[in-house]
Amino acid sequence: MTEEIKDKIKKAHYLKLLGNIPEGFVMVHEQVIEDLKDFDNWKDFKYNSNYIEEKNIEKVLSKDFEDGKI
């Protein structure tokens, strides 16, 4: 199996959120927005263009893990 396929499987729970939003918008977990109130997180967001995607994936995967989906 290629790395690209393995990566898509790993992110499957996150990627299913992408289908119900208008083009040009990004669905963001509310906890990610709350985390940005912390100045250190805000600095990470400001200098890392992938911050939102990475944190969204972490939050979705941790929520699914808590719910027993994975």
For residue range 10-49, list pLDDT tens digits in order: 666 555 555 667 777 777 888 888 999 999 999 999 999 8
Model confidence, pTM:
0.56
DSSP for 3-69 reads HHHHHHHHTHHHHGGGGGS-TT-----HHHHHHTTSHHHHHHHHH-TTHHHHHHHHHHHHHHHHHT-
Residue boundaries of the structural domains of the chain: 3-67
